[in-house]
């Protein structure tokens, strides 16, 4: 390895020790007889101090030629110094330039110069060098690890279902067509039908963390055309309550893990995460409409909640909560109905965002075919899916949780693109 420590490992207690560090030139300060370089790596920043008398001439003379954001390697001695940032500095013996950066930077990674989101996303690689995105993606990793840990503890196994599919999951809108040899194919909007088929296959508990593709036409702060969905499906449930309980406990677990493991990152983002108390509150769709009406927002029964209604509910409820018993007409055909009007479907809401949707599924073949027809779809288009309901399908249910939406609530990001490495939206296919 070209280095044996990160900048964060350099502490005053290591005074006198020799270290080899490598990273990016964050800043250069040349005061003539003494020169400073701030060296940045993924753990933070350390100061290199070069007094003319104390470092080799060749090393000293290299500093004025260092360009910002060049990649360098440093060998030197740790020196405790109360006046240095973090009380410690490096007196370099040797500085080697591994990769010189162009002097014209499309974006200032030190974050001192403000840039709008579009400029930042265009120069995303430089943008990601900043402390805040680094913190966000560290948290994102802790979140996915926490999800795997939690679900596997409950006996779920991770699966990967196809992302190139022959027919729409829930009707034809929002689908991206794909050129697939001599046939029509699409990018999967969700793993829904496949995870249900795995219930017929006897897996009982599966989860998938994978991409979903939606041809959302409009740019909003909470929609991407390619997002990551955390999906579960679970057999032998008594009602949707069984899967709601998994979901609320998972979210509480995620928050706990991030609090425990990302103290530094939360500080960088200026965030304090609350302890989420389970069970979350549950209100029915009808109760939600009444509540909204009390606050001056009228939503007609049978309509999806408009953005402003979601936002208003986010003001009323400080904690995450469920909206249950959604009307039949705005839920997909595979949802189990409760009666002629409402279903077992639920949404998990938090901070004015829909984080997840789920339900108990219809596992009875005849009912399922009827519901497909009622929604104006053709059962023949679902031949292989329907086939799996004929030979013993347990009662089951599940949900899909948006990974980016979850991260928005944790990091308080205003825009979903902030928590996505290289976001895809209507206007953005690069980088």
Q: Which does 66 bind (CB under 5 to 8 A by kind): ligand ATP, Mg ion, none?
A: none
Whole-Å CA distances, 98 to 74, 326, 354: 10, 59, 46
The number of residues that bind ligand ATP (CB under 6 A) is: 15
What is the smallest separation between the CB atom of 356 and ligand ATP, expressed in angstroms? 5
> What is the Cα–Cα distance from 225 to 149, expressed in whole angstroms?
28
In the numeric block, the tokens 């040797």 are attached to 94
Residue 357 annotated in active site = yes
Q: Which residue is at the shortest CB distance from ligand ATP?
A: 402
Residue 52 annotated in active site = no
Cα three-residue angle 311-312-317, rounded to 5 degrees:
100
| Cβ nearer to Mg ion, comparing 189 with 357 | 357
Q: Which stretch binds ligand ATP (CB under 6 A): 15-23, 138-146, 223-231, 364-372?
A: 223-231
Residues 333-362 that bind Mg ion (CB under 5 A): 357
Residue 224 interacts with ligand ATP (CB under 6 A)? yes
In the set 222, 331, 363, 396, the catalytic residue is 222
* 224 touches 404 (CB < 8 A): yes
> For residue 248, which phi and psi values (nearest 5 degrees)?
-70, -40
Residues 354-383 that bind ligand ATP (CB under 6 A): 354-357
Q: Which does 324 bind (CB under 5 to 8 A by kind): ligand ATP, Mg ion, none?
A: none
b/e 238-252 (16+ beta carbons within 10 angstroms → b): eebbebbebbbbbbb
* 127 touches 94 (CB < 8 A): no
| Cβ nearer to ligand ATP, comparing 129 with 214 | 214
Q: Which does 227 bind (CB under 5 to 8 A by kind): ligand ATP, Mg ion, none?
A: ligand ATP
> What is the Cα–Cα distance from 328 to 416, expressed in whole angstroms?
29
> What is the Cα–Cα distance from 326 to 301, expressed in whole angstroms?
10
| Cβ nearer to Mg ion, comparing 357 with 360 | 357
In the set 167, 190, 235, 357, the catalytic residue is 357
Instruction: Give Dmax over CA atoms of the chain in angstroms.
Output: 87
What is the smallest separation between the CB atom of 401 and ligand ATP, expressed in angstroms? 6
**Beta carbons within 10 angstroms of residue 93's beta carbon:** 14
Q: Give the binding site for Mg ion (CB under 5 A).
A: 357
Give residues in contact with ligand ATP (CB under 6 A).
190, 214, 216, 223-224, 227, 229, 354-357, 400, 402, 404-405
Would you name the residues annotated as active-site residues?
A: 214, 216, 222-223, 354, 357, 405
């Amino acid at each position: 390895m070209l280095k044996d420590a990160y900048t964060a490992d350099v502490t005053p207690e290591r005074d006198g020790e020799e270290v080899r560090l490598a990273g990016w030139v964050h800043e250069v300060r040349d005061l003539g007889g003494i020169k400073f370089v701030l060296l940045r790596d993924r753990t933070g920043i350390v100061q290199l101090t070069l007094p003319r008398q104390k470092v080799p001439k060749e090393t000293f003379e290299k500093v004025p030629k260092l360009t910002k954001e060049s990649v360098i390697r440093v060998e030197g001695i740790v020196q405790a110094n109360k006046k240095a940032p973090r009380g410690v500095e490096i007196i370099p013996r040797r500085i080697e330039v591994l990769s010189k950066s162009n002097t014209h930077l499309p974006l200032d990674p030190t974050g001192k110069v403000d840039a709008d989101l579009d400029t930042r996303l265009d120069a995303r690689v430089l943008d990601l060098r900043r402390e805040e995105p680094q913190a966000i993606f560290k948290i994102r990793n802790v979140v996915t690890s926490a999800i795997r840990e939690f679900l596997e503890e409950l006996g779920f196994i991770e699966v990967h279902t196809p992302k190139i599919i022959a027919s729409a999951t829930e009707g034809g809108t929002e689908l991206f067509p794909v050129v697939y040899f001599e046939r029509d194919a699409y990018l999967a909007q969700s793993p829904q039908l496949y995870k249900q088929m795995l219930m017929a296959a006897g897996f009982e508990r599966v989860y998938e963390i994978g991409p979903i593709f939606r041809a959302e036409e409009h740019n909003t702060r909470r929609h991407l055309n390619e997002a990551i969905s955390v999906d579960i499906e679970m057999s032998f449930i008594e009602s949707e309550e069984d899967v709601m309980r998994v979901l609320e406990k998972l979210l509480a677990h995620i928050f706990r893990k991030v609090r425990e493991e990302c103290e530094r990152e939360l500080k960088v983002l200026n965030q304090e995460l609350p302890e989420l108390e389970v069970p979350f509150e549950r209100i029915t769709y009808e109760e939600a409409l009444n509540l909204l009406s009390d606050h001056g927002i009228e939503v007609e029964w049978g309509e999806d909640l408009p953005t402003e209604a979601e936002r208003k509910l986010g003001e009323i409820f400080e904690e995450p909560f469920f909206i249950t018993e959604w009307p039949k007409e705005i839920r997909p055909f595979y949802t189990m109905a409760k009666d002629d009007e409402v279903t077992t479907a639920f949404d998990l809401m938090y901070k004015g965002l829909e984080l997840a949707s789920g339900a108990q599924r219809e596992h009875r073949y005849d009912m399922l075919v009827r519901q497909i027809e009622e929604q104006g779809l053709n059962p023949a288009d679902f031949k292989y899916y329907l086939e799996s309901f004929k030979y013993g399908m347990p009662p089951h249910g599940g949900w899909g949780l948006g990974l980016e939406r979850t991260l928005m609530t944790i990091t308080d990001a205003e825009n979903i693109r902030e928590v996505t490495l290289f976001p895809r939206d209507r206007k953005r296919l690069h980088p």
